[in-house]
Amino acid sequence: MKKLLVALSLVLFVSSLSFAQINKNWDGTKPEVYQGSKCLVFFYAPFVSGNLGSSMAGSYSNPVFTGGGVDSSKLTVSQMYGIGFQYYVSRDIALAIGLNFGNFSTSPTTEGLIGPGTSYKTTGTTFGASIDANYHFRSLYSVSPYLGLNVNFGMGSSTQEWTDGKYEFSGSTIGAGINLGFDWYFTPGLSLGGKYTLGFSSNGQPDVKVTNGGTTNEYKGASQTTIGTGIASIMLNVHF
């Protein structure tokens, strides 16, 4: 990770130095956006950790298991990372939509993973969407601060199957909040964004169905609503 950050820093430094030498009167990159400006929004992986999840594409709720099944008093939430598209309806107002979609399937060729003569397979799907509406204030040199609104939704489902049983799960979360953020135009065509969303999220009760040896049990996870908590996001914006 350190090597990646050092290499990136060197590339940015050399690019900025070369550009400055060619353009003697250049006084820095400005947020030269206008009505109709567009950009793609990516999450910048080197700076994203477990403590910097993003509400760009929503989240979904998970049940918590104990030895006796599902603990209905607890709930975990999985953040979803996605790609976004931003459009400036005016020089100061930008609308952004974020999407996440994933589908996975694992089917080990080796049997006996959970017992003699058994096989195992897992499939799952995730989907998330969000909408941001941000008002950009007067820029300070290459930094454009903004204030806005965010609405997001996410859901996830998965199925685990083995020789004589099956586990099925589905959960979702909706949220909304106020965005406090900025875009830093460090070079023409690219900007790094930082955003903190302060608001609420409502986690629905995840559904769980477990079938084992001909017996089926259904469980409900906990529901949870939080107000006042926020999610931090770091994005890379590619303007075109």
Give residue-wise pLDDT tens across range 33-48: 899 999 999 875 555 5
Residue 118 pLDDT level (bands cut at 50, 70, 90): low
Burial 210-220 (b: 16+ CB within 10 A, else e): beeeeeeeebe
- Summarised one tens digit per residue, pLDDT across range 50-79 is 555 555 677 888 887 765 667 767 788 887
- Summarised one tens digit per residue, pLDDT across range 182-217 is 999 998 889 999 888 888 888 888 888 888 877 888
pLDDT at 57: 77
Q: Can you tell me which residue has the tokens 């005016």?
A: 90
* Nearest residue to 132 (alpha-carbon basis) of 218, 44, 196, 53: 196
pTM, two decimals, is 0.76
DSSP three-state, residue 171: strand
2.60.40, 2.40.160, 1.10.260, 3.40.50: which CATH number matches 34-239?
2.40.160
Burial 28-39 (b: 16+ CB within 10 A, else e): ebebebeeebeb
Q: Could you please report the per-residue DSSP string of 213-239?
A: TTEEEEEE---EEEEEEEEEEEEEEEE
Q: Are 171 and 125 in contact (CB under 8 A)?
A: no
Cβ partners under 8 Å of residue 236, min gap 6: 41, 42, 43, 44, 190, 191, 192, 193
DSSP three-state, residue 18: helix
Express as a percent the part of the chain with pLDDT over 90.
26
